[in-house]
């Protein structure tokens, strides 16, 4: 990522014990799909299997780019499945990145 302003979406969730195979399928599908969305920059995800708690952090160039991802037809379907079968709970935070730096500097 560069030093220009961008936005971040932090998705914290806790999985149910149900629909594991379907969840994995949809998770991989969304992972591939988000990479094709205009304005997408990067994302990372991790989940603790014992507690079933997870976090996905996604970066987009702008709020309109993130809003377009939220309203993407397949993503809307995944959101509905998430509420119906995949998650016990989740929370989302959206913020604008005003400063970003790295160490060591990229080569």
Domain ranges of the chain: 6-97
Q: Write down the pTM of the prediction.
A: 0.88
Residue scoring higher pLDDT (65 or 3): 65
Please report the DSSP string for 4-34 in residue order.
S-EEEEEEEEEE-SS-HHHHHHHHHHHHHHH
Nearest C-alpha neighbor of 69 from the set 91, 22, 36:
36
Mean predicted confidence (pLDDT) in 50-59: 97
Both ends of the chain: CA-CA distance in Å? 13
Whole-Å CA distances, 68 to 27, 28, 48, 101: 19, 20, 29, 27
- The highest-level CATH class for domain 6-97 is alpha beta
Q: Give residue 5's pLDDT.
A: 79
Mean predicted confidence (pLDDT) in 57-80: 97
pLDDT confidence bin for 43, thresholds 50/70/90:
very high
């Amino acid at each position: 990522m560069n030093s220009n302003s961008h936005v971040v979406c932090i998705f914290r969730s806790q999985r149910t014990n149900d629909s594991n195979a379907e969840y994995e399928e949809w998770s991989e599908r969304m992972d591939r799909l988000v990479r094709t969305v205009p304005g997408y920059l990067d994302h990372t995800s991790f989940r603790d299997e014992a507690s079933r708690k997870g976090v996905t952090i996604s970066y987009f160039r702008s709020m309109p780019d993130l809003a377009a991802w939220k309203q993407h037809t397949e993503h809307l379907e995944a959101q509905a499945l998430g509420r119906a079968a995949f998650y016990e709970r989740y929370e989302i935070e959206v913020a604008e990145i005003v400063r970003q730096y790295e160490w060591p500097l990229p080569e």
